[in-house]
Amino acid sequence: MQDTKRHAYAHARPALAVDCVVFGFDEDQLRVLLIQRDLPPFAGGWALPGGFVRIDETLDEAARRELHEETGVDRVYLEQLYTFGGVDRDPRERVVSVAYYALVKLSSHQVAAATDARDAAWFALDDLPPLAFDHADIIETAHRRLQGKLRYEPIGFELLPRKFALSQLQRLYEVVLEQPLDKRNFRKKVLSMDILDELDEVQKDVAHRAARLYRFDERRYRRAKKAGQEFQL
């Protein structure tokens, strides 16, 4: 409840920001998109893209706007993660931050778009630079959330090219979940979900037998989900 009495007082208000943990998948590494700060505090240090919430935009809008402004990234899977409200997160003043995580297809042109705007760069999740504020905590929380989500919802496709081989998908799962998976069981499981289109196309420019390509069929997925189907592992 927002109490009208206390509304009358002009209490000091925490500032409200959004921060985005942008995940990308690069062959066999999970990466995070960071930007380099040019001003104190943490000048020269790396931080998550983000910024203050404007008075006339929703939180989701703020997250997408900042993401676009600071990294050029656009039209991605985006979901609210957690709100970080530690009193001393920011040394200047009280800032509460609503954290989001995003999944992008590194294969698209987005890498280029990302790297020209400001000083943005992809870092391997297991080899991050020192981070500003509590952004290391936020990334850790995002990683755990991604692991949990991936186990029971097929969002892995958001990190792959539109057309992909099953082995790519498996590598993605192995990297994110940090555990090896059995090839035959994995294929059996994924194909049995019946949400992939088998294409009449195979990989190009590989130095070995080319793998068949598949495409995620979002329509079928939605229908199956509505019908109560599960998508574990």
Partner DNA sequence: AAAGGATAGTGTCGGACAAACACTTAGGCA
Partner DNA sequence: TGCCTAAGTGTTTGTCCGACACTATCCTTT
Chain centroid to CA 206: 28
Asked whether the bond before 41 is cis by omega within 30 degrees of 0, the reply is yes
Q: Give the bridge partners for 99, in sequence order.
A: 19, 82
**Close Cβ partners of 140 (under 8 Å, ≥ 6 residues apart):** none
Q: Whole-angstrom Cα distance, residue 32 to residue 67?
A: 13
Query: Is residue 10 within the footprint of a copy of itself (CB under 8 A)?
Result: no
Query: Is residue 120 within the footprint of a copy of itself (CB under 8 A)?
Result: no
Shortest approach of a copy of itself to residue 15 CB, angstroms? 6
- Please select the residue that binds a copy of itself; options are 64, 76, 97, 169, rule is CB under 8 A: 97
Among 50, 55, 103, smallest CA distance to 79 is for 103
Nearer to DNA, 2 or 232 (CB): 232
- Binding segment (CB under 7 A) for DNA, from list 67-75, 101-109, 135-143, 201-209: 201-209
Size of the site for DNA (CB under 7 A): 20
From the list a copy of itself, DNA, none, partner contacted by residue 161 (C-beta under 5 to 8 A by kind) = none
From the list a copy of itself, DNA, none, partner contacted by residue 11 (C-beta under 5 to 8 A by kind) = a copy of itself
- Please select the residue that binds a copy of itself; options are 26, 29, 68, 94, rule is CB under 8 A: 94
As to burial, measured by CB atoms within 10 angstroms (0-12 exposed, 13-18 middle, 19+ buried), residue 94 is middle
From the list DNA, a copy of itself, none, partner contacted by residue 151 (C-beta under 5 to 8 A by kind) = none
